[in-house]
A and B are shown apart, each in its own frame.
Chain A
Amino acid sequence: MSRECSQLLPRVCAALADPRQPGSDDTCLEKLLDWLRDLTELEPTLNVVQDNPCLTEFFTSVLALPEPSPSILSFTLRLAGLLAASEDCFQHLQQENLLFRLFGTGGTLNRAVWEDASVRSGWVEGVHSMMHHQPALHFLCNGGGLDVIFTLQGDPSLFVASAASQLLVHMLTLSVESEPTTPVGEKDCDWPACAQMIIKHIEDSLQSGSASHINQSLKLLTSLFGSCRATWTEVLWLRIAKQVESFLTEDSVQTRHMLADLLLNMSRSPVFCDTEGSFWALVTSALEHLTPVQAGPLAVGILSLHKCPQDVRIQAMTVLLQPMDCILRAASQPLEYAGLLDESVSDPSTVESLLSSKSSCASLLCQTLAHLEKLLSLIHLPVDLPYTALLRSFVTILQFCSGLLIPATSLGNKISQILIGCSRVQKSALDALAALSERKGCDTVIGSLFDILLVYLESPNTSPTVLKKSFQAMSKWLARLPEMSCFNNQWQTEKILQDVFLVLQKRLCSPCWEVRDSSLEFLTSLIKSMRDQDEFRESLLSSEVPKLTENLLEDPESYVRASAVTAVGHLTFITSSLPETPVAGNQYNKEDTTAKLQDILSTDPESFPRRAVISIFTKWLKQGCTDQVEDTAQFVSRAIRTVERDLDWEVRIGGLELVEVFCVQTLCRAGLPKYPSAAASSSVTSSIQQNESLQIFCRAKLFKFLFWSLCDYDKPVGQKACDILLVLRASLSPSGLLKDCQGAGDSSAGCGIPWLQRTLRQGSLAQDFPTDGGNGVDFEDPESMMLALGTIDLEELHDELNKSSDHIEKSPQSLLEDILATVGTIDENEADCY
C-alpha cells in the first residue's frame, strides 16, 4: 500500500462508519473492496491488517452502531471475509472477537437489517471469501452457520439463494479435500464432519418430497459435479443415485429440467464418463423419459462429448432428429428422405402430438433447430449426422412456414396451419441452414434449397430480420456452389445468380433501411467469397446491382451509406480487373468512384460512411488496387489531408492505418526491413534506398500527420501514430545515420526540432499542436524529419501514451480521495442518473 493511501485509509474508514455521513455510492464501496482484494493478493493479509489498525477499528465501530445502513454492513461483512481468507488473519480477527459478532448466529443475523437482501448477500459472500482453511470451516460448522446457509438456499433474493448454493459446494469440496481423513466411503463416519452435515442435508432435501427443496439440492449437485472432478464425487453419487433416479418420473417440470442439467454436468466429468453401466443407463433412461424439450439440452451436450457409449449417442440423436423426422413424414416426402430415423427404435407419438399443438409446435421446432445449429457449428463434431435428410427437413420447415407446402397428411395440415408466417421458426431454420452449409455431402436437394431461399428473398411478407438471415444463408450456400458435384452445370449456376441479382435489385430499393442495409451487406459478402468466379462477375455486372449500389452512396440513412461505401469499394475489385472494353470502361470509371468516396470522406456529416471510406482505401492499398488509379503516394497524401481534422477519432485512426500500410509497402519495395534486427544492413545501397523512402514519405506529407496525431485529443490516435513512427525510425535510421544527425540542432535542417521535442515531452495529450505548422519545423524536409526521429524519445512517449488514460480513475488514491470528498456533500447529486 502506498504511503498516501495508508494515510487516507483511516479517514475513509472513519467516514464510512459514521452514520451521520450520507451513504457512499455503491460503486465506491465495490471498488474499495476490489482494491483491498488486490492488495491481499500482493501483500500478506495479516501485515495489511496490522499495519492498518483502522480496518479492525472500522469493524468494531460498525458493530457498535445501533442501526448500521445495509450497504455499509454488507460491505463490512464482505471485507471481513476477505481478510479472514488468510489463516493467520482469521486467527487475529477471532482474537478480537470480531468474526463471531459479524458472522456468528448471535451477531448480524439477529439484527433487523438482516431483512435487507444486500446484508444477507454480504454475509454469504463474506463467508465464501474466508472459506480457505480448516479453522474457518470449523468456525462456521460449529457455530450453527451451516443451518443459516441451508435456509438461505431458499432466499427470496435470487442472488442470495444462488450464492448460498455456490457456498455449500465450495464448503463441501473444501471439507472433503482438506481434512486428513481416510478415503471417503459410503458410510457416514468416513466423511469429515462438515461434509457429513452437508451431505445429510442434501439427502434429506432429496427425500423431503418438497419440490423447492429437491430443486435446491439438484442445483447444488449440478454445480458440484460441474466444478469438482475428484473421485469422491462418485462415492457421493452412489449414495443418492437411487433417489435422483426416481425423479425421472416426477411431475415437476422444474425438477426434470434440473435433472437434465445435472446429468449433463456429470457426463462431462471423467469420474462418471468412464464408468460402465449404471450412470449411462440413467442418462439413456432420462433421454427416453424426459419430454423432447427437457431432453434437448442434454442430448446436445451428449452429442458434443468425445467419450460416450454409442447407444447413448444414438438415443441422444433420436431426441434431436425425431422432430425433423416427423416433419418429413408429415410433409409426406418421398420415402428415401423420410428415413431419418428407424421407426422401430423410436416412438414418434409424443413428438407428433407436440407438433400438432399450437402452443408447443413452434417452441419445439425452434429449440430443436437451435440445438442442431449448435452441433453443426462445432468444428469437431464427434458424430455423423444425416446431413442430406437434415437439409431436406430444414427446407421442408421453411416451405411450411411460407405456406408453399400442401401436405396430404393430417399432421402435415396441422403443422402447416401453425407454422405459416411464423418468423421465430423461420429464423431458427435459416440459422440452422446456414450452419449446415459448412458440412459436406448434402448436395442432392440443393435445387429446392435455392428455390425456397429465393422465395424468402422475394416475398414481401418476409420480415427484415428474417430477410437478413435468408441473405446470410443464401450467401453461405452460394459460396459453396463451385464445389458441388451436382452443380457443375454452368448454366444452372448462372440461372441462380441471375435470380439472386434480380431479387437484390428490388431489395436495394426497399423503403426500409434495414432491408437496404442487409442487401448491401449481402452483396459485399458475395463479392468477398465469389469474386474470382467468372459466372459470378458476369451476372453481377450485367445486372443493375452495381448502379443501384452506387446510388445508395447518397442514402439518407448513414448506416446504409456506410454499407454502400463498403460494397462499392469491393465492387471495384471486380471492375478494376476488367479488360478496358468501351462499355465497361464507361460504366465503371474507377477515378469516378474514388472521387465519390473521397467526397464522402470529406463531406459526409456522419462518421460511419467516413469510417467505411478510409477502411476501403486501406483495403485497396493492401490489395494493390490503387496502383492503377493514380500515384499511390498522392492518393495517400490526399486521404490523410482529408482525415487529419476529422471529428471522429476512429476516422483519424483509419487514416493512420492507411499510412501504416503505405509505409510498410514502400519500405518493402525498397528492400528495407520493416523491423530491422541487429543484422540490419548498413550498406551504401540500403542508405540510398532509405533516402528514397524518406523522400517519398516527406512528399506525401506523412510526418506532419504523424506528429500532429501524437498530440491528438483521443489517446488511441496518439498510440497508433507513435507505433508507426517507431517502425519508421527503426527502418530508416539505423544507428549510424542517427549519429550523423546528432548535434545538428543549430543547422537550418533542425529548425524547431528542440521545440517539437519539448512540446511532446510536456505530455503530448495535454497539448494542442499549433495550427501554424509549429515553430518553423519543416515536416516535408527529409533531413529535419530524420533528426526528429533520431532525437525525440519515442519510447518514452510510447510508454506515456500506453498508460491507461484512466489510471487516475483507477488509482486507489483517487478512489479514497473521492470517498472522502463526497463526505459532506449533499445527497441530491446521487439520485440524478440522467
Chain B
Amino acid sequence: LICLSVGPGAGQDVGRSCILVSIAGKNVMLDCGMHMGYNDDRRFPDFSYITQNGRLTDFLDCVIISHFHLDHCGALPYFSEMVGYDGPIYMTHPTKAICPILLEDYRKITVDKKGETNFFTSQMIKDCMKKVVAVHLHQTVQVDEELEIKAYYAGHVLGAAMFQIKVGCESVVYTGDYNMTPDRHLGAAWIDKCRPDLLITESTYATTIRDSKRCRERDFLKKVHETVERGGKVLIPVFALGRAQELCILLETFWERMNLKAPIYFSTGLTEKANHYYKLFITWTNQKIRKTFVQRNMFEFKHIKAFDRAFADNPGPMVVFATPGMLHAGQSLQIFRKWAGNEKNMVIMPGYCVQGTVGHKILSGQRKLEMEGRQILEVKMQVEYMSFSAHADAKGIMQLIRQAEPRNVLLVHGEAKKMEFLKQKIEQEFHVSCYMPANGETTTIFTNPSIPVDISLGLLKRETAIGLLPDVKKPKLMHGTLIMKDNSFRLVSSEQALKELGLAEHQLRFTCRVHIQDPRKEHETVLRVYNHLKGVLKDYSVQHLPDGSITVESILIQATAHSEDQGTKVLLVSWTYQDEELGSYLTSLLKKGLPQSTS
C-alpha cells in the first residue's frame, strides 16, 4: 500500500515542491523547496502537516532532493537546522556541490534587501550540507535494510536526477524536473523499464508541445547580436548557476564563429566557481561537451571576462551577465539603473520573476518605475523575455511513461486545468490510473505486492513425498504455518513451528448439540443413528464403540436423554478443526432427523 500526500503549501501554485511518500511503512520526503514570491512564513512549506505526532526525525526515513533549484531545495537548511530534522538527506554529487552556492546566494540577497534575521545563516547551510549523503547515478543506495533508492539522469540542470524508491517489491519513481531532449550542455533524461507502482512526474508543460530550443536560441543570439551591432549594451540578469552557463556557452560559440569583438562580462566571481563544477562533473553533461573536452573545455571561455563595477560606465557595446536574476537587488539592479534610460540597450530576462521585483514589473510592460527616494526611472531600453527552462513537454512526459511503464501515474508541479488534459491522455493511452491531487490532499494507491516466502525443507520434502514436485508453471496449494519474524516470511510445518516458537500444541474441537425426537432408550437411539450414518456415509469409516458412542472418522457422537423431556434425545457431535467440513455436513444431516423405517 502506498499512501501519498502532496504538499505542504496551499493552492496549486508553482514553486515549493515538497512531497511525502509512504511506501510499505517507510516515509520519504521528496524535495524541500521554497517559494520565492513570499517574504514571510509562507515561503517555506508548513512541515507540521507531515506528522501530527512525534518528531520528524523519527517519522521520516529519509529526504531526497532532486536538483539544486531553490523551489526544490530552498527550504532544506530551514528544515534540517531550524525545524530540527536530523535524519539522512540524499542528493547527487553535483547537486551537493552546487546547492550551497545557490542557497548562499539567495540568503545574501534576502538578508541584504530586507535585513531579515529569521532566515538561515551561512553556518546553517554548511551544517545542513554536511548531513547530505551524495549518490552516484544508477547506484543502489541502501537507506536501511528495507529501503533502497537509485538515481537516474534527468537532464534539466547539472546534477538533476530522478529517484526510484523501493521497499521490498513496491516502488515509486519521482522525476523532479526533467527534460527528454538534450540541450546545449546537458543530455536527455533516461530511465529503465523499472515498472514502478507509481510514477510521480512534474507536469509544468502538461499541454505544451514546445517549439524547438534551437529556435529560441537563434532568437536570443539574433537579439544580442543586433543590439551589440548598433552599439548598445545587453544586460542578462541570472542566478549564480544553471541557465547562466548554458547561455555563456551559447554566446561564446557565437562570438567565436562571428569573430565578434564586443566584450562579454560575468559578474562577481561566479564564473570561476560555476565552471569549476561543470568541469568537475563533466560526465553529467551531454555527449558533445564530453567529446570535445579533450581538445577544448567548453567551460573555459575565451570571450567571457570577469566584471568590475567600473566597466558599466565604459562606452561602447558589451554584454553583461549579472546577479541576481530578478533584478531585485545588488549588481544587476545597479547596472539596470544605469542603462535603462538608453533605447539602444537591452535587458534579456531568461527566467521567472516574482511579483514586486523590478524584473516582474518590466516584464509586465511597466516603463516608469519608482525607485528609492521617489525617483522615477524611465525604462527606454528594450525588454525581452526568453524562456530557456528545460522541462519535459507533453510529448516528453508520455515518452517517460512509455520508458518506465508505471502501474499508476501522479501529476504534480503544474496547473490543474492542463493536468486534467494530460491525465485523460495518459489514461487513454496507457490504461493506467492517473492522479492529480491538490496540495494538501492525500492519494492512496493500493498495490498487490507479491511477498516472497521461504519454505522449510522439511515441509517441501513432505509435499514432494506425496508426489507434488514443485513446478514454476503450475502453482500448487501448500499448507503450513506462516511465521513472520523480523520482516521475513517462512512457511513451515506446524510441528516445526511449535518447536521453533516453543509452544505447546492445543487440540481444538467443535461441538454441536442436535435434538432428536425419539422416545426410545438412549442406546437404541444410538443404534438408529449408527445404522443411518452407515447407510449414508458409505465411503467413511463409521464405528460404534463399546462405550456407546459413534465415530465417523475423527468425529465423535454421543447421545443423552434430555433432562426435562425424556422424549427428546440430545446428540453431542464433536470434531476437530481439520474435519470441519465433515463435521458440519454430519450435523446438518442429523438435524434433518432419522428416517422412520430404520427401527
- Using a CB–CB distance below 8 Å, which chain A residues touch chain B? 25-28, 30-31, 70-71, 116-118, 121, 156-160, 162, 219, 257-258, 260-261, 293, 297, 357-359, 363, 366-367, 370, 424, 427, 464-465, 468, 514, 517-518, 559, 605-606, 608, 611, 647-650, 713-716, 763, 765-766, 768, 771, 800, 803-810, 814-815, 817-818, 821-822, 824-825, 828-834
Q: Are A766 and B375 in touch, CB under 8 angstroms? A: yes
- Taking CB atoms and an 8 Å cut-off, the chain B residues in 1-21 that contact chain A are 5, 7-8, 10-15
Extra inter-chain contacts (7) besides given A25-B355, A159-B8, A804-B114, CB under 8 Å: A25-B13, A370-B58, A647-B268, A713-B330, A713-B331, A713-B334, A818-B356
Known: A806-B356, A832-B351. A518 touches B130 (CB 8 A): yes
B355 to chain A: which residues have CB within 8 Å? Answer: 25, 27-28, 31, 815, 818
Known: A716-B115, A832-B351, A834-B351. A763 touches B130 (CB 8 A): no
Alpha-carbon gap, A636 to B61, bound state (A): 51
Which residue of B10, B54, B130, B330 contacts A465 across the interface (Cβ within 8 Å)?
B130
Q: Are B372 and A810 in touch, CB under 8 angstroms? A: no
Q: Are A818 and B361 in touch, CB under 8 angstroms? A: yes
Q: Are A805 and B389 in touch, CB under 8 angstroms? A: no
Alpha-carbon gap, A2 to B312, bound state (A): 38
For the complex of A and B, the 9 pairs showing the least CB-CB separation, nearest first, are A809-B356, A27-B37, A821-B364, A159-B440, A257-B53, A117-B438, A157-B440, A26-B13, A514-B130
Is B455 part of the contact surface with A, judged by Cβ < 8 Å? no
The closest CB in chain B to the CB of A807 belongs to: B372
- Return B91 CB to nearest CB of chain A, in Å: 14
Known: A158-B441, A814-B370, A815-B356. A825 touches B126 (CB 8 A): no
Q: Are A367 and B11 in touch, CB under 8 angstroms? A: no
Known: A162-B49, A766-B337. A833 touches B15 (CB 8 A): yes
Q: Are B122 and A608 in touch, CB under 8 angstroms? A: yes
Alpha-carbon gap, A27 to B355, bound state (A): 7
Per-residue 0/1 for B316-354: is the Cβ within 8 Å of any A Cβ (1 yes, 0 no)? 000000000000111100100100000000000001101
Is B310 part of the contact surface with A, judged by Cβ < 8 Å? yes
Q: Are B14 and A831 in touch, CB under 8 angstroms? A: yes
Known: A160-B440, A261-B53, A825-B363. A830 touches B356 (CB 8 A): no
Q: Are B337 and A831 in touch, CB under 8 angstroms? A: no
Q: Are A804 and B115 in touch, CB under 8 angstroms? A: yes
Is B541 part of the contact surface with A, judged by Cβ < 8 Å? no
Residue contacts A-B, CB under 8 angstroms, 12 given: A159-B439, A162-B49, A257-B52, A257-B53, A367-B54, A713-B334, A818-B361, A829-B352, A831-B205, A833-B204, A834-B157, A834-B351
- Return A604 CB to nearest CB of chain B, in Å: 10
- Return A217 CB to nearest CB of chain B, in Å: 14
Alpha-carbon gap, A116 to B108, bound state (A): 38
The closest CB in chain B to the CB of A29 belongs to: B11
A807 to chain B: which residues have CB within 8 Å? Answer: 372
Q: Are A805 and B363 in touch, CB under 8 angstroms? A: no
Give chain B's interface secondary structure class: loop
The closest CB in chain A to the CB of B437 belongs to: A156
Q: Are A825 and B375 in touch, CB under 8 angstroms? A: no
B38 to chain A: which residues have CB within 8 Å? Answer: 27, 30
- Return A656 CB to nearest CB of chain B, in Å: 14
Q: Are B486 and A358 in touch, CB under 8 angstroms? A: yes
- Taking CB atoms and an 8 Å cut-off, the chain B residues in 162-212 that contact chain A are 177, 204-205
- Return B154 CB to nearest CB of chain A, in Å: 13
Q: Are B365 and A806 in touch, CB under 8 angstroms? A: no
- Taking CB atoms and an 8 Å cut-off, the chain B residues in 94-141 that contact chain A are 108, 111-115, 122, 126, 129-131
A27 to chain B: which residues have CB within 8 Å? Answer: 13, 35, 37-38, 354-355
Which residue of A31, A514, A518, A821 contacts B361 across the interface (Cβ within 8 Å)?
A821
Known: A715-B112, A834-B389. A814 touches B57 (CB 8 A): no
Q: Are A118 and B12 in touch, CB under 8 angstroms? A: yes
B71 to chain A: which residues have CB within 8 Å? Answer: 833-834
Per-residue 0/1 for B286-327: is the Cβ within 8 Å of any A Cβ (1 yes, 0 no)? 000000000000000000000001101100000000000000
- Return B278 CB to nearest CB of chain A, in Å: 16
- Return A46 CB to nearest CB of chain B, in Å: 28
Q: Are A260 and B53 in touch, CB under 8 angstroms? A: yes
Which residue of B42, B272, B313 contacts A768 across the interface (Cβ within 8 Å)?
B313
- Return B463 CB to nearest CB of chain A, in Å: 30
Q: Are A800 and B372 in touch, CB under 8 angstroms? A: yes
Is B269 part of the contact surface with A, judged by Cβ < 8 Å? yes
A465 to chain B: which residues have CB within 8 Å? Answer: 130-131
Is B142 part of the contact surface with A, judged by Cβ < 8 Å? no
User: Quick one: which of B357, B438, B486 has the most chain A CB within 10 A?
Assistant: B438
Q: Are A363 and B130 in touch, CB under 8 angstroms? A: no
Known: A159-B440, A465-B131, A713-B334. A825 touches B58 (CB 8 A): no
Is B87 part of the contact surface with A, judged by Cβ < 8 Å? yes
How many chain B residues have a CB neighbour from A under 8 Å? 86
Alpha-carbon gap, A257 to B115, bound state (A): 41
Is B86 part of the contact surface with A, judged by Cβ < 8 Å? yes
Alpha-carbon gap, A814 to B355, bound state (A): 9
Known: A158-B442, A606-B273. A830 touches B14 (CB 8 A): yes
Alpha-carbon gap, A465 to B14, bound state (A): 33
A765 to chain B: which residues have CB within 8 Å? Answer: 372
Known: A363-B58, A647-B269, A817-B366. A831 touches B112 (CB 8 A): no
The closest CB in chain B to the CB of A827 belongs to: B415
- Return B70 CB to nearest CB of chain A, in Å: 8
Alpha-carbon gap, A27 to B373, bound state (A): 26
B442 to chain A: which residues have CB within 8 Å? Answer: 156, 158
Is B69 part of the contact surface with A, judged by Cβ < 8 Å? yes
Alpha-carbon gap, A821 to B379, bound state (A): 15
B87 to chain A: which residues have CB within 8 Å? Answer: 424
Q: Are B360 and A818 in touch, CB under 8 angstroms? A: yes
Alpha-carbon gap, A31 to B42, bound state (A): 11
- Return A233 CB to nearest CB of chain B, in Å: 22
Is B487 part of the contact surface with A, judged by Cβ < 8 Å? yes
Q: Are A808 and B415 in touch, CB under 8 angstroms? A: no
Q: Are A30 and B130 in touch, CB under 8 angstroms? A: no
Q: Are A830 and B352 in touch, CB under 8 angstroms? A: yes
Alpha-carbon gap, A156 to B5, bound state (A): 10
Alpha-carbon gap, A822 to B115, bound state (A): 29
Q: Are A370 and B57 in touch, CB under 8 angstroms? A: yes
B205 to chain A: which residues have CB within 8 Å? Answer: 831
Q: Are B131 and A809 in touch, CB under 8 angstroms? A: no
Alpha-carbon gap, A427 to B7, bound state (A): 29
Known: A815-B356, A822-B364. A159 touches B486 (CB 8 A): no
Is B421 part of the contact surface with A, judged by Cβ < 8 Å? no
User: Quick one: which of B87, B114, B372, B373 has the most chain A CB within 10 A?
Assistant: B372
Q: Are A649 and B441 in touch, CB under 8 angstroms? A: no
Q: Are A427 and B361 in touch, CB under 8 angstroms? A: no
Per-residue 0/1 for B46-61: is the Cβ within 8 Å of any A Cβ (1 yes, 0 no)? 0001001111011000
A162 to chain B: which residues have CB within 8 Å? Answer: 49
Is B385 part of the contact surface with A, judged by Cβ < 8 Å? yes
Q: Are B130 and A464 in touch, CB under 8 angstroms? A: yes
User: Quick one: which of B49, B312, B334 has the most chain A CB within 10 A?
Assistant: B334
Is B242 part of the contact surface with A, judged by Cβ < 8 Å? yes
The closest CB in chain A to the CB of B48 belongs to: A162
Q: Are A30 and B364 in touch, CB under 8 angstroms? A: no
Is B465 part of the contact surface with A, judged by Cβ < 8 Å? no
A814 to chain B: which residues have CB within 8 Å? Answer: 356, 361, 370
Q: Are A714 and B115 in touch, CB under 8 angstroms? A: no
- Return B199 CB to nearest CB of chain A, in Å: 21
Q: Are A367 and B58 in touch, CB under 8 angstroms? A: yes
A803 to chain B: which residues have CB within 8 Å? Answer: 372
Q: Are B438 and A714 in touch, CB under 8 angstroms? A: no
Alpha-carbon gap, A798 to B495, bound state (A): 88
B283 to chain A: which residues have CB within 8 Å? Answer: none
Alpha-carbon gap, A514 to B157, bound state (A): 25
Q: Are B114 and A806 in touch, CB under 8 angstroms? A: yes
The closest CB in chain A to the CB of B16 belongs to: A833
A833 to chain B: which residues have CB within 8 Å? Answer: 14-15, 71, 204, 352, 389
Known: A765-B372, A805-B329. A367 touches B49 (CB 8 A): no
